[in-house]
Chains A and B, each alone.
Chain A
Amino acid sequence: MRKGFRREIDALDEIFRFLEDFVAEAAIDERDAFTINLVVEELFTNLVRHNNGGGESIDIDIEREGDDFHLELTDFDVEPFDPTSVPRPPLTSDIDERSPGGLGLHLVRTMVDDLSYEYEPKTRRMRVSVTKRLES
């Protein structure tokens, strides 16, 4: 399933409805559905925040292939931003040494099996791809 969404945080409601249809059709259980929602939200909001000057929409492409879930987010007319290179936040128990920055990408990296990034300078198009082994 593939669909374009407005480059706005408020597009999340529409995105979650899109994901709801997908998990029902692909017979994905509640635990995996939770993870898919979280991963898509974190990556989508990351693109919205880091690529302010980008195109009007961000494409989300999702599919189930056997026991694997594949996700691609494609952003158009943007500067390069590699989410795989963002440092992991320190997970210390001292609240004064912690900050919430980088938490979303840390969750994504921990919850999926593969996260990759590619950028095409000529078209200024970037793509973030995810693979996750499903438990259902």
Chain B
Amino acid sequence: MFEITRDTEGSVHLKGRFDAAQVANAKHVFSFVDDSCVVDFAELSYISSAGLGLLFATQKRLVDNGSALKLTNLNPHIREVFRIAGFDNIFEIDE
């Protein structure tokens, strides 16, 4: 199960398992992100390279406009995946 929602302040909330089968759904939501915003991982239990790729593509698009994603509440396993991917310097990650 995977859910992606935006709240009234524009923050994106991820929930469940963000695997390759969920990318189309998430891509639709991130396509409407055109300014700096928080991505809350509090209820996300899993992510693979497919999800990382979408976050990366969104970040790249935003950085070109002087904006950026800020990632927060990553569980230790997901945090480790970001570290191995070398994304520590690509994203601001709230520890």
Contacts and interface: CB of A to CB of B under 8 A. Distances in A.
Nearest to B89: A93
Interface in B53-84: 53, 56-57, 59-60, 63, 76-77, 81, 84
Contact of B77 (A16, A31, A96): A31
A105 to B, nearest CB: 8
A116 to B, nearest CB: 20
A9 B22 CA distance: 10
A84 B36 CA distance: 37
Contacts of B81: 38, 107
A98 B49 contact: no
B71 to A, nearest CB: 14
A100 interface: yes
B90 interface: yes
Interface string B26-69: 00000000000000000000101110110011011001000000
A100 B48 contact: no
Chain A interface, DSSP helix/strand/loop, else mixed: helix
Nearest to B47: A38
B46 A107 contact: no
A45 B20 contact: yes
Nearest to B76: A31
Looking at A92, A100, A104, A111, which has the most chain B CB atoms within 10 Å of its CB? A100
Interface of A: 9-10, 12-13, 16, 30-31, 34-35, 37-38, 41-42, 45, 91-93, 95-96, 98, 100, 103-104, 106-107, 110-111
Given A30-B77, A100-B53, A110-B84, 19 more contacts: A10-B21, A13-B21, A16-B17, A16-B19, A31-B76, A34-B77, A37-B46, A41-B19, A41-B20, A93-B86, A95-B60, A98-B60, A98-B86, A98-B90, A103-B53, A104-B50, A106-B85, A107-B49, A107-B85
